Amino acid sequence: MATTVLPGPELLPDVLPTDRLTASGRPGPDVRAALRHITNVGNALTVASAWLQIVAGIAVALWIDHPLVWVAAFLLAGRNFARLSILAHEAAHRLLFTNRTANDFVGRWLLAYPAFIPLDVYRRGHLAHHGDELGPDEPDMGLYIGYPISRDSFRRKLVRDAVGISGWKNLKPLLLALRSRGARPVATRILAAQAVLLAACTALGRPELYLFLWLLPWVTVWRVLNRLRGIAEHGGMTRSTDRRLTTHHVRQSLAARFWIVPYNTGWHLAHHVDIGIPWRNLPALHRELEAAGWIVPDLVHPSYVALWRAMSSGPRPRAVPAAFT
């Protein structure tokens, strides 16, 4: 049984800096401008496309109106939150639009609030995550620590996600925030965004669409997808200044990019090397790191399934004697 998923020292060659990359892996002056370019029009179309796919999924379900299509629409609705949250993540880094006002407005009202994300609170916590991955102030340590775990433990976590237990734990603080003077304004804005979505469904004469194709997929399907992505990014890694020890890289497939890692978020090691690189240019930075020999082929996990298997290949917890329970 596996006891670690950390790469060995033979997979961590000390080859930086180069004439194109700094000692930390960030692009040097000759390549920085191109890699940090933000495509405003392209990102506007990307946001519009994300919402078009949401509307199209609902429209197809209403048009065909078959049980299997409704099941497919329910599962795909969970995927919608992957797309909204990753674009909101881009806005949190202020990489969605060069204009800060546009970046934050779109990030809040078209991406984060519909996905139940308080963007400004998330931004503060997420920058703490980048400042010291898996350090003492890591906001998402619960997602990453302790891997590899046993297969049974891995299964229990996914079941709790799938049946809504984890989702309720994430939704409850939002409702409780209405009782807090400091947190109430943001919670009210998120609920206002939800009210707009409910009103849109009601205008179609189908208010139940909000429950079945928005709220329930968020507390079930999305929790599963979010956990699978989260542990594939940092599960079982360790605090280090070498991002190869804090962040996994997984070979990308069309299925993975469709379901859990849209908008190049699967190039997560490159993202942690330089958080100022917009999503469109992360593969290019990854290629630079490969060309420099900093990322070697054996460092890359062959697939997400292979990584999840490694994550769930840990030893079973030892039974506690009855006298100590």
Give the DSSP per-residue string, 20-32. SB-TTS-B-HHHH
**What average pLDDT is seen over the chain?**
94
How many CB atoms within 10 Å of residue 300?
17
Whether residue 3 lies inside any domain: the answer is: no
Going by pLDDT thresholds of 50, 70 and 90, the confidence category of residue 137 is confident
48 versus 317: which is more confidently predicted? 48
Cα 238 from Cα 144, distance rounded (Å): 9
Whether residue 158 lies inside any domain: the answer is: yes
Domain with 255, as residue range(s), is: 9-317
| Whether the model pTM is above 0.85 | yes
Percent of the chain's residues with pLDDT above 90: 91
Whether residue 324 lies inside any domain: the answer is: no
Residue-level pLDDT at 316: 74
Cα 218 from Cα 196, distance rounded (Å): 17
Amino acid at 325: T
| Closest C-alpha among 121, 165, 166 to residue 143 | 166
Whether residue 322 lies inside any domain: the answer is: no
Residue-level pLDDT at 1: 64
pLDDT at 204 over 70: yes
CB 36 within 8 A of CB 277: yes
Q: In the beta sheet, which residues pair with residue 250?
A: 301
Residue-level pLDDT at 321: 44
Cα 254 from Cα 232, distance rounded (Å): 16
Q: Residues 282-297: what's their mean pLDDT?
A: 98
Which of 124-138, 198-212, 292-306, 310-324 has the weakest average pLDDT? Answer: 310-324
Amino acid at 238: T
Q: Residues 264-275: what's their mean pLDDT?
A: 98
Going by pLDDT thresholds of 50, 70 and 90, the confidence category of residue 135 is very high
Whether residue 323 lies inside any domain: the answer is: no
Residue 250, SS3 per DSSP: strand
pLDDT at 324 over 70: no
Q: Residues 5-11: what's their mean pLDDT?
A: 95
pLDDT at 325 over 60: no
Angle, helices 221-234/304-311, rounded to nearest 10 degrees: 80
Going by pLDDT thresholds of 50, 70 and 90, the confidence category of residue 318 is low
How many CB atoms within 10 Å of residue 78?
22
Residue 252, SS3 per DSSP: coil
Going by pLDDT thresholds of 50, 70 and 90, the confidence category of residue 140 is confident
Residue-level pLDDT at 322: 42
Going by pLDDT thresholds of 50, 70 and 90, the confidence category of residue 2 is low
Q: Residues 7-11: what's their mean pLDDT?
A: 96
Here the tokens at position 68 are: 């299997």
Cα 196 from Cα 56, distance rounded (Å): 18
Cα 315 from Cα 133, distance rounded (Å): 25
Whether residue 2 lies inside any domain: the answer is: no
Residue 280, SS3 per DSSP: helix
Total structural domains within the chain:
1
Whether residue 112 lies inside any domain: the answer is: yes
Residue-level pLDDT at 320: 40
